[in-house]
A and B are shown apart, each in its own frame.
Chain A
Amino acid sequence: MQSVYLLIVLAPLLGAIVAGFFGGHIGRNWSHRVTIAGVGISAVLSLWVLYQFIWQDAPTFNGAVYTWLVSDGMQLEIGFLVDRLTALMMATVSFVSLMVHIYTIGYMADDEHNWPEGARTGRNSYQRFFSYISLFTFSMLMLVMSNNFLQLFFGWEAVGLMSYLLIGFWSVRESAIFANLKAFLVNRVGDFGFILGIAAVAMYFGTLDYAEVFAKAPELADAQLALFGGVSLMTFICVLLFIGAMGKSAQVPLHVWLPDSMEGPTPISALIHAATMVTAGIFMVARMSPLYELSATALSFVLLVGAITAFFMGLIGLVQNDIKRVVAYSTLSQLGYMTAALGASAYAAGIFHLMTHAFFKALLFLAAGSVIIAMHHDQDIRNMGGLRKYMPITWITALIGSLALIAFPGFSGFFSKDAIIEAVGDAQVFGSGIAWLLLTLGALVTALYSFRMYYLVFHGQPRMDAHTRSHLHETPWVVTLPLLALAVPSVAIGWLTVEPLLVSNWLGEAIYVLPEHDSLHHLAAHWHGQLAFITHGMMAPPFWLAMAGLVLATLVWLVLHKRNPAIDDQIQQKGGWVTRVLQDKYGFDDFNQKVFAGGGIRVGRFLWNGGDRTIIDGAVVNGSAHLVGQLAGVLRHLQTGYLYHYAIAMIIGLVALLTLFVTL
């Protein structure tokens, strides 16, 4: 099996190397062929691995590939842990990535127009883009398949690097290179906590191997640290690791990089938001469930951060006019749902939502990209309208994605999101009440922003200029094929997988839940099939709120908008300070820019001018140099020019120092 896993990881890497280094020689077609082949191999083999787990009951694989370093009793290895959780992630990541690869052929076809005349970076940008997204896939697969914290951190940082390169892909744009630096640095703030968490694991467990750490965890369940006036070791480790997850999975307050990541070409938005990168944090916490279960404090923290992100980030989506930014804020909100599920110990529900979301979010982004292609790269939804007539496939698939996103009964998102809200409602940890309220209200918000966007883009009167309208047409098959391929799981995957994932505990050993934390227990105990689940869901507040949102959105942005196209602006103006707060994104960006970025530079200037230049160089170094200069004026008389005089002086000096030394 190991060679299969190696192939799954290395195939995209190889494709990336070929397209990256030799893209100029082999040309565009061979570059996308070789990378698609690489990711295709990964996808097919990953699906085969998943098949082995589902129907052949394959055993968990845990083995080292090579020893990275041995020092001082610590053996650090590179290796794979493939169990059902991993297999599910591998299949999701590689499948979504494959769709994005195919889509990219269409999306990046005219990329040379995005570069200024004469820029050599524009020459092979198509090939380079394929190389990057393949490398991105490699990084994410390394992350999810790791069997130890070291490799996890490698994958963790590697996806960070790839997002840096991809967000800043159009490196002539100031906004792009601002966004990629911001993304990397904000992620590094999370990694700062993450690496300390890993260091704590290394110290207290004496190993970085998952299996050994998990086996030893119960022994250390009650360990206390003397730090901060006494804190449980598990809480300490779990919170530090979660800070890393807050960076990668964009939880408040480390969410600020994700909306800006829209500066990259749309295919990578789909990749970052759906399959790679942002899911890393969710996956990591689920993987670490044997540790998180031992700290109710950490779970509460996770739960509250998730719920806050889910609700408040969704609200921002209401006032965005850039089609990609609306989807971006919906990602933040949905990541909040997943995180909240983890905090409620409903890890399986979190992973379930991760998977359904990967499909419908990739779908929504690729549909948005399809719209952007048709609109000649105008992304403002106020300039769109009526696109359903021109691009029927994009329209239908976007509708499917939106329905899945708002948890319309029967669609994939319905099963996963409803399960999360129910689990949080059943959870006993501190804060679950308020978290439940936020998540439930979030259902209304989700429906509002999703269908505001949907109606403004696809319905009503076309508002684009005549030139654009005359060129409107459906995008080519390389774009629409991935849309259709993603639409299928967006509809069906929830219905198909809800029972094994949430009821019959298919993930099994991969997830560890203490009986008293088991918030999915209620759902499993009262399981009477998918239909019963749907009808049961239709009795509950989240459903009613979502439907209220849908109806309200239809009324405002479909019915009223027809008579009064300015209604969207009028509502936003009526919002007054609320709109302003939302448009300012609660002030996080301004605050970070002023306090952290500006403050860091001010501190640096202060230390440099005050410390290095004034005190050390100014007073001490040059001061003593002046002193020496003055002394030298006196001592010049001693200068004779005879070598032996100097020699004697040196020896006398040395002897004097030595005497001092000995007598001290």
Chain B
Amino acid sequence: MLPQFPWLSLVVWLPIIGGLAVIANGDKHPEPTKRLALAISVATFVASLPLWILFDSGTAAMQFVERAAWIPAIKVQYYLGVDGISMPLILLTTFITIFVVIAGWEVITYRPSYYMGAFLIMEGLMVGVFSALDAILFYFFWEAMLIPMFIIIGVWGGPNRVYATIKFFLYTFFGSVFMLVALIYMFFQAESFSILDFHALELGLRAQILIFLAFLVAFAVKVPMFPVHTWLPDAHVEAPTGGSVILAAIMLKIGGYGFLRFSLPIAPDGSAQLDWLIIALSLIAVVYIGFVALVQQDMKKLIAYSSIAHMGFVTLGFFVVFAILRETGSAEGAAFGISGGMVQMISHGFISGALFLCVGVLYDRMHTRQIADYGGVIHTMPWFGAFVVFFAMANAGLPGTSGFVGEFMVILASFRADFWFALLAATTLILAAAFTLWMVKRVVFGPVGNEQVAALTDLDRREALNLAVLAAATLAIGIWPKPLVDVMEPSIQHLVQQVQVSKLPAEAAAIDHDATVMDLAAAHAN
């Protein structure tokens, strides 16, 4: 076979090198620098399109694979590849970054080159996370990604940014240490850092549970899941608009992606043992966080909590698989939940990104995010108001928008697992509508709140374009999700097959399994 064009490397390194070039350009001539940043982000998006166009959705195998030795001494490879799970997330990343660059165009006046450069570098690193098939390479991208985010919040953030950055950094760093240990442990077992080799690795139940827990800490912080979620509202509140958009639209998805790439296929038996934990935390996220979101006074905090609740749907969809297999004895409907979780991730990228952009639009004009400072915005900004209502409805899961698709699929799947799961998950129909539309009522509708609101000007071209494109994407997936789901389907089916096959060593399986089941049962009873 002819060596393929290294599309993935291009998409990883183009924004990183481009970002460095933007920084090198400096701030003496901000306009050309900003234009360069925009050109690079658009070029990266264009360069990522072949991943979709040339993608073969008939196979679950890794595609666009690039493999080369990197640190031969410890068998670390430069190993990239995508399947139907990672490819859509890469496109989401390259797509959303364009809006971040445009959104910062006039607002960021302090060192715009560093701001844009940091985002471009982060884009490359995030694509790296989604495409790395070598565990060390993955870990490298995973940790490196924190640095630009740390800088973005720390330099361009709000008044309380130091607390928020440290909280953000410690939380995520704390999570990833355990992951590194698990990765090294598996290296000793598999004598390779290839993630696909990890998938094939036979592991005892005890090891699987420990590996699962180690990954859980890392991914749960990123998602974030209850109760390790409190860094997110603080980070969002302090982050500049672009930082919030990237955080909500893409960084959270890395946690969800981690579950699919690592936890489920590497430790299927461990996952099956502990799925109740994830399901419980996910449902708490939907209900508890839904109530917490209701009483937020700060728009960004409200959307941050809404993100946590929506990400609860993602993890719920991923982990009802085991309950479905147990309850119905068949895999039918199991993949539906994972597909639903994936669609929810993509959709949440559009909707939360757009909602944070909307808050940014208001913040740029009035320098406050307090709901109480607004009222009747639609009377001075009718186009803006229309977009807010649209994205609010999408956030509330209205059919015809992408927000509905994932929620619908996850509710259907969790019903198969257990009626009560579905019942609790479906409360989002009421809760998400309540917290989102109540905010809309207080901010957008009603009599004009005060003099500042009366003096507001409607969206400019740049802002309107941003929101219109995101609205189009939200509608497109809501009206016709088939193309997206078709791309993911083979990889998700493959994943469901993987989790159905026990990875316990044959002879030890029976004893080990029983022992742990009893341990867990005893622990449960206590």
Contacts and interface: CB of A to CB of B under 8 A. Distances in A.
A221 interface: no
Contacts of B486: 70
A189 B480 CA distance: 27
B482 A119 contact: no
A515 interface: no
Nearest to A75: B482
A654 B181 contact: yes
Interface string B457-501: 010000000000000000000001110011001000100000000
Interface in B171-192: 177-178, 180-182, 184-185, 188
Interface stretch (A480-488, A565-573, A602-610): A602-610
A375 to B, nearest CB: 25
Nearest to A662: B185
B308 to A, nearest CB: 10
A72 interface: yes
Contacts of A177: 441, 445-446
B382 A120 contact: yes
Contact of A616 (B227, B379, B381, B408): B227
A67 B489 CA distance: 15
Interface stretch (B3-11, B107-115, B125-133, B421-429): B421-429
Interface stretch (A53-61, A194-202, A299-307, A378-386): A194-202
A595 to B, nearest CB: 14
A119 B433 contact: no
Given A172-B379, A174-B447, A616-B227, A72 B433 contact: no
A664 B485 contact: no
B398 A600 contact: no
A661 B181 contact: yes
A171 B295 CA distance: 23
Given A72-B335, A120-B458, A185-B434, A171 B378 contact: yes
Nearest to A157: B399
Most buried by A among B385, B433, B493: B433
Contact of A188 (B170, B433, B448): B433
Question: Main secondary structure on chain A at its contact with chain B?
Answer: helix
A71 interface: yes
Contact of B426 (A118, A178, A192): A192
A199 B458 CA distance: 42
A115 B227 CA distance: 47
Nearest to B301: A608
Contacts of B404: 157
Contacts of A72: 332-336, 339, 489, 493
Interface string A194-231: 01101110110010000000000000000001010000
A310 to B, nearest CB: 27
Given A161-B393, A612-B230, A181 B292 contact: no
Interface in A132-148: none
Contacts of B437: 164, 181, 184-185
Interface string B360-388: 00000000000000001011111001000
Contacts of B399: 150, 153-154, 156-158
A551 interface: no
Contacts of B333: 72-74, 203
A419 to B, nearest CB: 35
Nearest to B438: A181
A466 B359 CA distance: 51
B334 A617 contact: no
Contact of B398 (A161, A189, A603, A661): A161
A116 to B, nearest CB: 7
Given A153-B399, A607-B288, A662-B185, A192 B294 contact: no
B441 A616 contact: no
A586 interface: no
A203 to B, nearest CB: 5
B378 A604 contact: no
Contacts of A156: 399
Given A161-B398, A189-B430, A121 B408 contact: no
B378 A195 contact: no
29 contacts: A69-B485, A70-B482, A71-B339, A72-B332, A72-B333, A72-B335, A73-B332, A116-B448, A118-B379, A119-B380, A120-B382, A153-B399, A157-B400, A171-B379, A178-B441, A188-B430, A189-B430, A191-B429, A195-B411, A196-B422, A199-B411, A202-B412, A225-B419, A603-B291, A604-B293, A604-B295, A657-B177, A657-B181, A658-B185
Nearest 7 CB-CB pairings of A with B = A199-B415, A604-B295, A119-B379, A604-B294, A604-B291, A154-B399, A72-B335
